[in-house]
């Protein structure tokens, strides 16, 4: 579609960053219709040239007509990337058998911290073996992992963790669901991985959970125990779908009837492992999907 008179007006803020660049790729991949488009960045990007639809800016914008200010617009917040990756898998299960408590442990990629940080794991890995590692934006990224770099609140949770708490409640329209999260940065370039432990209100068998996830939109199940093949960040990098595996019962919960795949046994708690490209699915594509649903 591309340029279309009845399409929406679009602005991409932070277009020179990792998410902004992915926005442009998804616009082209999905042939998103737009009436006009503005590409915005900070002063740090002054003079930097971008390519959009096989042309550089501002030449790529030559056919775009800017409209007046009289048209109505809307601001809709895009959910946080780690929340989207988690809830793509958890929500179908929640709709089938209400989740009353969720424990999330995230293993988040360097790209989530922006383009300035993305090169650190590779550069520092080389330097660790031959020299001293260069100064990092946070702590040493190479051969290391560390608590997410978001600000820590007085309650001991950081901002990223509290987003998972608050946004899950918004998504599910349930202010009573209990959520706790621990968010960790790992030396991976693209895609977040998350372990999700769900306490479920109603009986839900392991096989039923797998069938629900296999039928969920935007989710692909990778759960081969025999060959020990489960989701990895590399598998989902630059992909739209979220991968889920390690679907199994949590044996630590009192009242469980042991490790079993028999359908009539109750699963009080369920563990799943989720991987998703937080730049593409967690930010750019999700925002464009929201716009598509509104247009």
Which residues are annotated as catalytic? 81, 192
Given the structure tokens 């300035």, which residue do they identify?
Answer: 116
CB distance 200 to 267 below 8 Å: yes
The values of phi and psi at residue 99, to 5°, are: -85, 125
Torsion of CA 104, 105, 111, 117, to 10 degrees: 130
CA proximity to 261, closest of 204, 198, 180, 216: 204
Question: How many residues in total does the chain contain?
Answer: 295
CB distance 242 to 219 below 8 Å: yes
The total of other beta-carbon atoms located within 10 Å of residue 221's CB is: 21
Stated as kind and residue range, the H or E segment containing 11 is strand 9-13
Cis bond before residue 58 (omega within 30° of 0): yes
The values of phi and psi at residue 243, to 5°, are: -100, 140
Maximum Cα interatomic distance, the chain, rounded to a whole number of Å:
66
Stated as kind and residue range, the H or E segment containing 196 is strand 192-200
Given the structure tokens 């340029």, which residue do they identify?
Answer: 3
């Amino acid at each position: 579609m591309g340029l279309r008179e009845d399409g929406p007006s679009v602005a991409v803020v932070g277009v020179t960053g990792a998410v902004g660049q992915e926005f442009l790729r998804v616009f082209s991949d999905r042939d998103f219709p737009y009436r006009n488009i503005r590409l915005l960045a900070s002063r740090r990007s002054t003079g930097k040239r971008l390519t959009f639809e096989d042309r550089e800016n501002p030449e790529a914008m030559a056919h775009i007509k800017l409209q007046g200010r009289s048209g109505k617009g809307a601001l809709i917040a895009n959910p946080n990337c780690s929340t989207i990756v988690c809830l793509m898998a958890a929500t179908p299960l929640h709709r089938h058998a209400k989740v009353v408590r969720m424990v999330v442990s995230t293993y988040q990629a360097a790209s989530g911290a922006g383009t300035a940080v993305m090169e650190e794991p590779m550069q520092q890995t080389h330097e660790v073996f031959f020299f001293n590692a260069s100064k990092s934006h946070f702590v040493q990224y190479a051969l290391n992992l560390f608590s997410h770099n978001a600000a820590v609140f007085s309650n001991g949770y950081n901002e990223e963790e509290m987003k998972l708490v608050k946004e899950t409640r918004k998504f599910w329209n349930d202010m009573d669901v209990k959520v706790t999260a621990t968010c960790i940065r790992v030396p991976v370039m693209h895609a977040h991985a998350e372990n999700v432990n769900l306490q479920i209100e109603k009986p839900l068998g392991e096989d039923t959970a797998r069938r629900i996830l296999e039928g969920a939109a935007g989710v692909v199940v990778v759960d081969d125990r025999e060959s020990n093949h489960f989701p990895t960040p590399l598998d989902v990098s630059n992909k739209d779908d979220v991968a889920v595996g390690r679907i199994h019962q949590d044996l630590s919960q009192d009242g469980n009837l042991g490790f079993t795949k028999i359908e009539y046994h109750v699963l009080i708690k369920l563990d799943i492992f989720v991987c998703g490209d937080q730049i593409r699915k967690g930010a750019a594509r999700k925002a464009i999907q929201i716009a598509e649903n509104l247009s």
